[in-house]
Amino acid sequence: MKDKIVVVGGYGQVGQIICKDLGELFPGKIFAAGRSYDKSKEFCLKTNSKVLPLQMDVHENKLSEDFFQEVFLVVMCLDQQNPRFMKRCLKEKIHYIDISASHEFLLKVRSMSSRMSSIESTAVLSVGLAPGVTNMLVKHSLQYLGQVHSANIYLMLGLGEKHGRAAIEWMIDNMNAVFFIRDKGVKKQVRSFEEERKIIFPNGLGQRSTYRFNFTDQHVLPETLGIPSVSTRICFDSAMITNLIALLKKIGVLSLLHQPIFRRQVIKLFEKLNLGSDIYVAKVISEGIIKEQAIRYECSIYGEKESYITGKVAAFVAKRIYAKQYPPGIFHIEELFQWEDLFDELQTFIHFEEYKSEL
């Protein structure tokens, strides 16, 4: 019987949040999967065995046929370079959720899906804070305005929260990235940590300098929501660190990240860095039209622990996929769900603000 939910990376920082949430609703049907059975078992014992241990390595093609016959849903919490495992899940009619923030991986998924003759299960991508909540905030602004010409996303991330090595590596590797966005419907080449824009953040955080960064939401939303211009900028809760990185980019030091020795040292530095808090903020400023009047609509959420909200968003999607039949295919979160439903799930541990003004 296909009734199991497997959380790959289930004993990791985000995976534990997902497993605990789902384990309360579906005890005995949730599996915390990973390469170390001992680590999985140690975590599962803390859940009173509502979550069960499972040893598996998605990078090895050694999974038994029983796995595919009994699993209803896979939640992927690990960064992947190849969508091979996802393809196998979809071929076996297993629903799939992925929290990856890698645009390169999503491009491979798109290429893979175009070559698949048919898909009978539901896969949801862009599940987390950014992408994820940011996608939903942009969709919310589109529903409010009716017509949106541009959506600008701003993120503040806390340097005090401990992240896994893979997340830190992704951040470091994108600090000197060159990428394309949609600006008035036309592809435009931009670079990370350039084009400063000063933004006032909520919760008394004040005005901060933000810079372009290669988050996937800005690549996806022009296609899924039909918005001509979308951009994403970032800053850290430590203004000093944000400005230092921007300065290093300006004088060319970040180009050294291509050298393995320098890259390793920077990764180690960020692993030890504890110069801030665990706060996060996601703010969206959209410009559009209501009844022929040009309007700027702003909405934002803020809270603590980015990993926590990522896990909660993934659990929200998993619970709905498990309980209700959705169309088969590969979707981003904003294509299947509404902000109001997600907010109902998250409202006890986030703060939401919104306001509008005429242009």
One domain, residues 297 and 320: no
Quick check: 17 and 308 in contact, CB under 8 A? Answer: yes
Averaged pLDDT, 228-234: 97
pLDDT of residue 267: 87
pLDDT of residue 62: 66
Query: What is the rounded distance in angstroms from the CA atom of residue 9 to the CA atom of residue 199?
Result: 35
Residue 347 backbone class (left: φ over 0; alpha: ψ -120 to 50; beta: rest): alpha
One domain, residues 231 and 244: yes
Averaged pLDDT, 189-218: 96
pLDDT of residue 323: 93
Domain that holds residue 176: 129-305
In a domain, 12, yes or no: yes
What is the number of alpha carbons within 13 Å of residue 281 lying toward its C-beta? 24
Find the range with the poorest average confidence among 101-110, 178-187, 202-211: 101-110
Render pLDDT for 160-177 as a digit per residue (tens, 0 to 9). Answer: 887 777 788 888 999 999
> Tokens 């000197």 correspond to what residue?
176
Average pLDDT, the chain: 92
pLDDT of residue 27: 96
Which pLDDT band, with edges at 50, 70 and 90, does 298 fall under? very high
Q: Please say if the pLDDT value at position 61 is more than 70.
A: no
Query: What is the rounded distance in angstroms from the CA atom of residue 20 to the CA atom of residue 48?
Result: 10
In a domain, 313, yes or no: yes
One domain, residues 161 and 288: yes
> Tokens 């090895």 correspond to what residue?
60
One domain, residues 66 and 165: no
One domain, residues 103 and 154: no
Quick check: 125 and 95 in contact, CB under 8 A? Answer: no
Which pLDDT band, with edges at 50, 70 and 90, does 302 fall under? very high
One domain, residues 51 and 112: yes
Render pLDDT for 238-254 as a digit per residue (tens, 0 to 9). Answer: 999 999 999 999 999 99
Averaged pLDDT, 296-318: 96
In a domain, 357, yes or no: no
One domain, residues 148 and 46: no
Residue 195's CATH number: 3.30.360.10
pLDDT of residue 214: 95
One domain, residues 140 and 224: yes
One domain, residues 86 and 208: no
Query: Would you call the peptide bond into 131 cis, given omega within 30 degrees of 0 as the criterion?
Result: yes
Residue 316's CATH number: 3.40.50.720
Render pLDDT for 261-296 as a digit per residue (tens, 0 to 9). Answer: 999 988 888 887 777 789 999 999 999 988 888 999
Task: Please give the tally of structural domains in the chain.
Answer: 2
One domain, residues 274 and 313: no
Find the range with the poorest average confidence among 98-112, 142-156, 212-226, 298-312: 98-112
In a domain, 89, yes or no: yes
Render pLDDT for 98-121 as a digit per residue (tens, 0 to 9). Answer: 998 888 888 888 888 777 778 999
pTM: 0.94
One domain, residues 141 and 249: yes
Residue 195 backbone class (left: φ over 0; alpha: ψ -120 to 50; beta: rest): left
Which pLDDT band, with edges at 50, 70 and 90, does 47 fall under? very high
One domain, residues 280 and 150: yes
pLDDT of residue 63: 66
